[in-house]
Amino acid sequence: MPSETLRNRRPLSINTMSAAATTAEAAEEPEELEEPVSPAGRLFHRPEFNCYIIAVIGLGRRIDDLDTIKAGLAATLARHPRFSSVPVFDESAGKKPRWVRVDVDVDRHVIVPNLPPLPSAAAAAAGELVVEDYVSALSAAAAMDATRPLWELHILNLPTPSAAASAVLRAHHSLGDGASLTSLLLACTRRAGDPSALPSLPSAAPRPRPHHGRGRGPLGLLLWLWSLLAMAWHTLVDAALFAATAAFLADSPTPLKAPPLPPGDPLGVGRRRKRFVHRTASLDDVKRVKNAMGCTVNDVLVGVTSAGLSRYLSRKFDETDDVKKREKLLANLRVRSTLLVNVRPTAGIHDLAEMMKGGKDGPKWGNWIGYVVLPIPIALYSDPLDYIRKGKEIANRKKNSWEAFFTYWCADLIVKLFGLKAAATLCHRVLSNTTLSFSNIVGPVEEIEFYGYPIVYIAPSVYGHPHALTVHYQSYVNTVEMVIAVDEITIPDPHQLLDDLAESLELIKDSTETKS
């Protein structure tokens, strides 16, 4: 464990980013390509949603050849249309906001900070804290220079308990949604031991669809009509709850939820420094539970999140010795998560690799996302498997709804009718009235390398939105990385919360084996 001196020292200060500048200069560059900035992309440039995606990549050995990394980026990521463009919001000539292609100087996007030397004793533990502080400081750093493409890679040659070095990719959320950017990152990697082979993802199970009823007689037609009506009803209910959440329906005040915005602070928790912590768990354990319970990996992770948050809140309420609060925990605490769902299929890794190889347009790209509001049960079940049963029930219910498509269409309509500011206000209120963000991203099934450097783990997250807690799960080979981002004013003990998530998975797995 790091010494108390290291934990209490002053956080790192990042001064490598210049302040955000206007993009008028970028408009003077030769325009190889102009593409409109989507409404969601414009939304992520609003002050309320100036969001960034950040991914810590643990590497198996020190980066001793920076030129190889830069050459690899120049041949892949820097050739992607969005990663070689800048957003131009100069509408004086009657043009709409657009992406303009520019020349990419990779040297300006690769940052090697001057980090303090580590003590020889417990160097790995000390390195983990330095990396954690550095990534946290990035969330409080100045905005990226908007005269160049909005991404950068930070190289941290420090040992940690799980990696020999770390690479931190930071990209503005307007460049794409989390699933698309993860696919793009994987398209920049190759299988370990085979520099010509792209990673492969696990095959997705076919999603059941409502039976069309044709050629099945009256019974088939009746079943089809029933499933269609159920889908429509669920969507109507979800749409009503979404509207209520935007208007007045807020989650219960808990130690996990950011407090209401104070007077004079229109941005609140979204602009505060975040702390990012992660833990590696066994994907085989998750699959064991999945197979025993007859559900999906996502159902298991929803259940584990429910169990971990219940465990954490129970401890917090016990510390207060407040009987009413403990009773309320056992009653009906309202804790919900928002999920951003890509309403358009994500481009495949091979398609993205071909796009970057040619430096031309390929699969459709951008933020085509809708919201899903997911209830997270908070309860103290005597049987740990009840968390999985409840998670499966909630996930199945959400699968039988067009909520994501409805919210995407609704936001698009509001932008057209009332403007971007109204849409930003709507989305900000929905997030402010819920407790956390949740995401589960599927990773490769074999070990991969990042421009020749073996990857040990991938820990993605996001910051800039009005949640005090964000939970991400990222699978990789036979592991799953649990990643949480917290506002330390609201949640001052993120490692304890991470412990609760990991211990909940262990209890659920043990209970599955016992019942079997």
Distance CA 76, CA 355 (A): 9
Catalytic residue list contains 173: yes
For residue 302 the two structure tokens come to 């929803």
Looking at 283-425, which runs of residues are DSSP E strands?
336-342, 369-375
Ordered strands of the 336-342 beta sheet: 274-282, 479-487, 469-476, 436-441, 336-342, 369-375
Give me the count of residues in the chain. 516
For residue 177 the two structure tokens come to 């949604």
CB atoms within 10 A of CB 214: 9
**Per annotation, catalytic residue among 154, 173, 278, 467:** 173
Distance of alpha carbon 446 from the chain centroid = 22
Distance CA 425, CA 49 (A): 10
Q: Helix, strand, or coil here: 474?
A: strand
Categorise residue 226: left if φ over 0, alpha if ψ from -120 to 50, beta otherwise.
alpha
CB atoms within 10 A of CB 197: 12
Nearest residue to 180 via CA among 328, 47, 352:
352
Distance CA 279, CA 457 (A): 10
Active-site residue set: 173
